[in-house]
Amino acid sequence: MANFSSLGVFTRAILVLALAREAFATPSQAPWQKQGHGRKKKWSRRSTSDSCPSSACYLAAPPEISAPKDNVWDGLTHEEAASVATWLFSQSDLNLTVSADAGEWDNSVLLVELLKPNKTEVIKYIDGDASAPTRYAHVVIDHRAAEDPYYQDLIVGPLPVDNTSTTWEALDYPFTRKTGGRVRNLDADRDTLYSELLYPISASIADITLDLWNGTALGLNNDTLYMWGIDPLWQDDGRITLWTQYWNSPTSGFGDSTLFPLGLYMKSDITGRDPAQWKFEGWLYNDIFYETTEEFRAAYFTEGFVKYGPNVDGEWAQTDRQGDIGSRYKVDSDSKYVEWMDFSFYVGFSRDTGMALYDVKYKGERVLYELGLQEALAHYAGNDPVQSGTSYLDSFYGFGPYAFELVQGYDCPAYATFLNTSFYTAETTHTHPNSICLFEFDADYPIQRHSTSDYVAVTKNVYFSIRSVSTVGNYDYMFTYSFYLDGSIGVEVRASGYIQSAYFAANEDYGFKIHDFLSGSMHDHVLNFKADFDIAGTENSVQLMTVAPVTKEYPWSGGKTRNTMHVERKFVESEDESRFNWAANGATQVLVVNKEAKNKHGELRGYRVAPAGGTAHLTVKDSTNLANAARWAEYDIQITKQHDHELSAAHPYNSQDVSDPPVDFSSYFNGESLDQTDLVMWLNLGMHHDGVTSHVETFGQKNDTCKLKYTPIDADLWSYTGDVVVRKFPFDPNNPFYQTGSI
């Protein structure tokens, strides 16, 4: 394959339909390399040769090369770090204690690393003949041997260390606050805090914690509760305030300890280093603040006191593999019916709009009656009448007739399952073989992971895609619907092919000059999808959940307000308010829910609809070209009550009578209630386009490729070790050890 330049487009727009109140993954994919072919589909298949030497058939290690310059950002060597550590401990004015022996009133070394060299010096080295910049170490000391403990940033050098020229000085040039590289340490007395304050107070209500949760937090080995709290500490009016909460203990090694809060909170004033000055300041339970233990105790033992249960570790909280690995996907090729994991759906196909999905079920319940393309608009603009006058509505040409055979190994993985599509034209039925593909794929990131000091869990993000490509004129639209293990569904459009270009003269406001007398022609793509959700039945509502900043006083905030945020919920009541755009900063979640269907926690069941990588509605307002032919392109999200007579957002002949088109989408909005009714979402994906040039290099790829043998790249999962630790003081380079711990 030769190098080639392309006036092509590689762009995408994605929506995710995610299960509400579940984490979801955003799909993303690497751009693929375009074959150089136009309307006549001719491509050079790359040969798969068996004549390669057998060694070449394995995934070869990348060749070793030599960097042109030293990597001056690469950190200290073991020897440098060890020599700095040794030197620091010989500086009596630093008064250091080795970390393992250091208590709350001893100084210790927190960090020894390379001080990043100044760019001014580095440039002279990497771009010129200067020698590499002098190296310095950045050191942080935890200075706790003082009434006012502090962290101290130091610069130590020059390196290598010697006893005459190496010095330390405060590092503060990178900081805006010039206080000699010192920052106060509010965390110096962690052990004393528990032993002198938190455990004794916890002991004073041990009868209550036993009664509530059959446990205590006393600092004993048989504790089943523990306490931790806010970060950062409250720092108001010169006082330091700590809030701690009780938590249940995990019963497994999965690192899920953040899932078991118990809802009882303790407030204390921990200003200064003298525990005698610290003060317990109250309890909070069920949003009621009690200033003293006596007050809390009295309330607790009063009849009618509301007690809630504990969160308890169990399978629900754990990330280990549960259940068997089952069959993955099944296809009825004749009926075009597909099952993958907990999903099932039917594939429909039409001349106007190509592939669509119907009766999409998750765990046996329908979530979408219909999910499919309605229309694709390419609205151009330019200083000439042809570009300015062009606004293709592509269903006129049809997506079905242009859904050609897919290229195995390029459009879809070679192992994909392929389906045929057919359409009627000129008294014939045409079949395009292999024009829909179905395949599983491993995302380049896991869908879940967690590590602890002695356990790691990670789950492959295997997803399932169905794809077709319609090449309508110069443009190739690649449509992909993807299904994920977390229940989410991705809708993705990628555009490729050739741009439509403009003559360059006086066209500056509409694009870039990209060849001798050529301009890219700016245009908006907007593609409308119908998503007819049915959540636990057809009667559904749309909830808008907005995260909003708020200034608020709480029962526990001591009469002061706090600047924070909260969630505001409302429903889209009718078609009078059901055409809108994605909120700035992703602040508003759009949820299709069923008010009558709650999950076991009492929350509404539903799907969230979210943009995931670029959506757009039409920039042009009240388009002169289109008049009423594409009102569907005006907003990101539009919701109507379902009617059998409001079947599609568009009509393939809308372009023939733009003022009075066969389907004027805006007339669907006539104030009907959207409260618990069968509703349809009309969602736009889009891209703002502008031609630029690109040049594709093949980076020395040979024509012949060999089949990859996977055996040598299978990972040995039991070789997982964790961190390699090399002790620096004393320096012990020959005895590394392994540990996966929090620092």
Q: How far is the CB of 354 from ligand NAG (least distance, A)?
A: 17
Q: How far is the CB of 46 from ligand NAG (least distance, A)?
A: 10
Q: How far apart are CA 458 and CA 435, in angstroms?
A: 35
Part in contact with ligand NAG (CB under 6 A); list of ranges 220-228, 355-363, 394-402, 500-508: 220-228
Q: Residue 214 interacts with ligand NAG (CB under 6 A)?
A: yes
- Is 173 part of the annotated catalytic residue set? no
Q: Which residues make up the interface to Cu ion (CB under 5 A)? A: 689
C-beta atoms surrounding 44 within 10 Å: 11
Q: Say which residue the tokens 């590499």 belong to.
A: 132
Most distant pair of Cα atoms in the chain: their distance = 97
Q: Residue 585 interacts with ligand NAG (CB under 6 A)?
A: no
Binding partner selected for residue 689 from Cu ion, ligand NAG, none, CB under the kind-specific 5 to 8 Å limit: Cu ion
Q: How far is the CB of 119 from ligand NAG (least distance, A)?
A: 9
Report whether 290 contacts 284 (CB < 8 A).
Answer: yes
Q: How far apart are CA 723 and CA 193, in angstroms?
A: 31
Part in contact with ligand NAG (CB under 6 A); list of ranges 216-224, 369-377, 462-470, 587-595: 216-224
Q: Residue 408 interacts with ligand NAG (CB under 6 A)?
A: no
Helix axes 206-213, 293-300, angle to 10 degrees: 40
Q: How far is the CB of 411 from ligand NAG (least distance, A)?
A: 16
- Is 463 part of the annotated catalytic residue set? no
For ligand NAG, the closer CB: 31 or 433: 433
From the list 552, 549, 553, the residue with the least C-alpha distance to 566 is 549
Q: Say which residue the tokens 């339909």 belong to.
A: 17
Q: How far is the CB of 9 from Cu ion (least distance, A)?
A: 5
Q: Residue 410 interacts with ligand NAG (CB under 6 A)?
A: no
For Cu ion, the closer CB: 11 or 642: 11
Those residues whose C-beta lies under 8 Å from the C-beta of residue 705, and which sit 6 or more positions away, are: 46, 47, 48, 49
Give, in order, the Cα–Cα distances in Å from 112 to each of 292, 566, 678: 46, 41, 63
Binding track, positions 430-449, relative to ligand NAG; x by CB under 6 A:
-x-x----------------
Binding partner selected for residue 222 from Cu ion, ligand NAG, none, CB under the kind-specific 5 to 8 Å limit: ligand NAG
Contacts with ligand NAG in 693-722 (CB under 6 A)?
Answer: 702-703
Q: Which residue out of 142, 189, 352, 394 is catalytically annotated? A: 394
For ligand NAG, the closer CB: 65 or 220: 220
Binding partner selected for residue 105 from ligand NAG, Cu ion, none, CB under the kind-specific 5 to 8 Å limit: ligand NAG
Long-range contacts of 480-486 (CB under 8 A, 24+ apart): 481/357, 481/371, 482/27, 483/340, 483/341, 483/343, 484/24, 484/25, 484/27, 484/447, 485/341, 485/447, 485/459, 485/461, 486/18, 486/19, 486/22, 486/23, 486/24, 486/25, 486/447
Give the amino acid at 331: V
Q: How far is the CB of 270 from ligand NAG (least distance, A)?
A: 22
Those residues whose C-beta lies under 8 Å from the C-beta of residue 563, and which sit 6 or more positions away, are: 549, 550, 551
Q: Residue 90 interacts with ligand NAG (CB under 6 A)?
A: yes
Q: Say which residue the tokens 């089943």 belong to.
A: 224
Q: Residue 333 interacts with ligand NAG (CB under 6 A)?
A: yes
For ligand NAG, the closer CB: 105 or 234: 105
For ligand NAG, the closer CB: 275 or 433: 433
Among 145, 443, 456, 458, binds ligand NAG (CB under 6 A): 145
Q: Residue 163 interacts with ligand NAG (CB under 6 A)?
A: yes
Q: Note the Cα 227 to chain centre separation in Å.
A: 31
Categorise residue 198: left if φ over 0, alpha if ψ from -120 to 50, beta otherwise: alpha
Considering CB under 6 A, how many residues would be counted as binding ligand NAG?
21
For Cu ion, the closer CB: 493 or 679: 493
Which residues partner with 282 through β-bridges?
Answer: 267
Contacts with ligand NAG in 494-553 (CB under 6 A)?
Answer: none
Binding partner selected for residue 431 from ligand NAG, Cu ion, none, CB under the kind-specific 5 to 8 Å limit: ligand NAG
**Alpha helices (H) in 248-350, listed in sequence order:** 293-300
Q: How far is the CB of 329 from ligand NAG (least distance, A)?
A: 15
Q: How far apart are CA 86 and CA 166, in angstroms?
A: 12
For ligand NAG, the closer CB: 72 or 462: 72
Q: How far apart are CA 482 and CA 519, in angstroms?
A: 36
Give contact residues for ligand NAG (rule: CB under 6 A). 90, 95, 97, 105-106, 118, 136, 145, 162-163, 173, 214, 220, 222, 224, 333, 420, 431, 433, 702-703
User: Active-site positions?
Assistant: 394, 475
